[in-house]
Chains A and B, each alone.
Chain A
Amino acid sequence: MSSQDIPEENLPAEQDDHGAHGAVTVADEKNPFADPGLPPHEHRMQDIDERAAKRSERTVAFLFTLSMLATVGFIASFVTIPVDESVYIFPLGHISALNFALGMTLGVSLFAIGAAAVHWARTLMSDVEIADERHPIEASPEVKAKVMADFRDGAKESALGRRKLIRTTMFGALALFPLSGVVLLRDLGPLPEDKLRHTLWAKGKLLVNMNTNEPLRPSDVAVGSLTFAKPEGLEEHDHDFQTEIAKAALMIVRIQPENIKDKRELEWSHEGIVAYSKICTHVGCPISLYEQQTHHVLCPCHQSTFDLSDGARVIFGPAGHALPQLRIGVNDEGYLEALGDFEEPVGPAFWERG
C-alpha cells in the first residue's frame, strides 16, 4: 500500500506560500488571484459609539439578572409545587407542574448565562481577527536523528536484542498473564449444554389460559379467537418465571381443519386447535399479531410473517424457519394438554441448533 514509489507530479503546487503570516500581497498584473491578505478591521457600533456599548452592557447585565431570578424560581418551584400536581398547558397537554416549572426555570437560568456571555463576547470584546502561525507537526530531521540515536543507545544498553533468552521469556510471560483474566470470566454464566432445547412443556402438562389462569378446554377456543397459554404450575411469582415463560409461552388459535394445509400441523392439532410457540424464530420477540382472516401472524419487532394455517412457515421477513408447534391433545377430564415438549428448540436460531 505504500505510495513512496508514486511520482509527485499529481500533487498540486503549494500555492500560497507568499501569502503566509497574513502578509498582504497586492494583486498585480502577474497574478490577479493573489491572496490580498487579511482585510482591515472594521468597527462595530459598540466600538465607536459608547451609547451602543452601554446598551450592550445593560443587555448582558439583564440576562445575568434574569438567570438569577430563574434560579430563585427553580428553588421556589421545587419547594412549593407538589410532586404529583398536574396542570393543563396548551399545547403540551396534562403535564406535571413540577417538571415543567423546574425545566423552564433551569433552562432559562442556564440559557441566560450563556446568552449573556456570548452577547458580551460578540459586542464588547475585541473582534479584531488575529492570525496565529502554525508549525509543522513533524519533527525536524535533526530532532529525529537525535531521537533515533538515543533510542539505539537505550536499546543497546538494555541488551534486549543480544540476550535472546530474556526477550523470549519476557514476551512469553507478558503474553500468558492476561489468560488469568480470561479464565476469571468463566463463571459469568453456565455452559449452553442443551438448555436452549428444552422448555417446561412435557407430556400431560395442561395448557393454562394466561389471562384467567384456568386450564383450557377445547370448547374455550373459538374459531377466530386468540388465546395465550402457559404450562400448568408456572406462576408469575416464581423466581424463574421470566426465563421459563421466555421459552414456554404459547399462542393458541383454532382453524377449521379443512383450512389447515400442512399435514403434520393437522396431526398435532386437536380438532383444529393448534398451539404454536409465541417466541419468534428470528430474534425471540413474542410474536402474536394474529390476523384471524388470513391466519398470518406478524412479528412487531422485525415483521417476520408466518402462516399459521400452513405449518407456520415464514412468508415474509427475516425469520429463517417456521414457528415450532406443540403437539396437543385432550386428557381424560377434557382439558387440553401437551403431548410432549417442543420437538425443536424454540426462539432464535443458534449455531448448535442444527
Chain B
Amino acid sequence: MKKLSARRRHPLAALVVLLLALACTGGLYAAFAPASKAQADETAQSLAIEEGKKLYAVGCASCHGTGGQGSSDGPSLVGVGAAAVDFQVGTGRMPAATSQGAQVPRKKVVYTQAEIDQLAAYISSLGAGPNIPTEAEYGPEGADIAKGGELFRTNCAQCHNFTGKGGALTRGKFAPTIEDVDPKHIYEAMQTGPQNMPSFPDTTLSEQNKKDIIAYLNAVNGDETESPGGLELGGLGPVSEGLFGWIFGLGGLIAVAVWVAARTAKAKKS
C-alpha cells in the first residue's frame, strides 16, 4: 500500500497512467471498431443488463424481489441508480448476511468490479438514478482542501468525527470510519445516502463540494497523513488521550516512584 502510494507521487506516474489509459482506450476502440460507436455501446449495454439480470436473480432477488420491487426483507431498488449498487456491492455491504445487527456493515467484496458494473447496469435499467461517478468527479484535481474541511465539518463530522474516524448513532447503529474507503465510494455514499445516512444530492452539496470533501479526507485521513505530534491515539479525542495519560503517563510515573522509594537490596548476610 505504502509503496504504491509512494509511486503514485513519482513524476513519471502521470505519464504511466496516461499511457495506460491510452492503451485501454485504444484496445476498447479496436474491440468495438467494426460496428458504429453508438451501436456498439448499446449492444454492450444490453449485454451488461442481461448479465446483470442473471446475477441479480441469483444473489439479490430473494430480498429485493424478482424485479427489484422490494420485499419485506429489502427495499425497492427502482430508481436507486448505478451509484447505489456500486457502493453497496463494491464495499461488500451487499449482499447482506441473513442475520444482521442494527445495520449492514462493510465486508469482503464478493463480486468482481465487472460483475458489479453489470448489476449496476441492470438496476439502473429499472429506473433512472445517480450514475457511477468518474475519476474526473472525485479526483483530486481542482479541489480545495480547506473548503472541503469546512464542508466536512458542517455536513459530515457530526456523525463521522472530525477526520472521518466514525461515531455512534442510535440503537447500535453507527457511522462507519471513512479510512481506507475508495474516493469513488465516498462520492457514491454522499450521492445516494446508504442505509441511515442522509443523501447529499448535487442540489444540496454541489459536485465541486463533494470533490473538495474527498480531497480533504485524503489530506487528513489518508495513508500519508502526518500526525505531527506523534501517536494519533485513534484520533478519537479526549477519551483515548485520557486513557493513554492514565495508563502510560501516570502509570509510568508510578512505576518510577516505586523505584525511587524502594530500598536498595541489602548485601546477603554471610
Contacts and interface: CB of A to CB of B under 8 A. Distances in A.
B204 A211 contact: yes
A42 to B, nearest CB: 4
A128 to B, nearest CB: 11
B267 A42 contact: yes
Contact of A222 (B201, B226, B269): B201
A305 B170 contact: yes
Interface stretch (A43-51, A194-202, A256-264): A43-51
Interface in B221-270: 224-232, 259-260, 262-267, 269
A354 to B, nearest CB: 30
A224 B263 CA distance: 69
Given A86-B226, A289-B159, A298-B170, A45 B267 contact: yes
Contact of B193 (A210, A221, A225, A303): A225
B220 interface: no
B154 A228 contact: yes
A292 B151 CA distance: 20
Contacts of A294: 170, 196
B169 interface: yes
B232 A292 contact: no
B109 interface: no
Interface of A is mostly: mixed
Contact of A300 (B167, B203, B227): B167
A95 B228 contact: yes
B205 interface: yes
Nearest to B153: A286
Nearest to A236: B150
B170 A292 contact: no
Interface in B193-217: 193, 195-201, 203-206, 209
Contact of B206 (A92, A100, A212): A212
Given A127-B263, A211-B209, A224 B227 contact: no
Interface string B115-133: 0000000000000000000
B155 interface: yes
A295 to B, nearest CB: 10
A59 B231 CA distance: 32
A305 B173 CA distance: 13
A95 B264 contact: no
Contacts of A77: none
B4 to A, nearest CB: 15
A316 B171 CA distance: 11
Interface string A276-292: 00000000001111111
Contact of A292 (B193, B201, B265): B193
A335 to B, nearest CB: 13
A146 interface: no
28 contacts: A42-B269, A43-B267, A44-B264, A44-B266, A93-B227, A94-B226, A94-B227, A96-B228, A99-B230, A118-B260, A122-B263, A123-B264, A127-B263, A127-B264, A210-B154, A211-B151, A216-B203, A222-B204, A225-B204, A228-B154, A253-B198, A289-B169, A291-B196, A292-B196, A294-B170, A294-B196, A300-B159, A303-B170
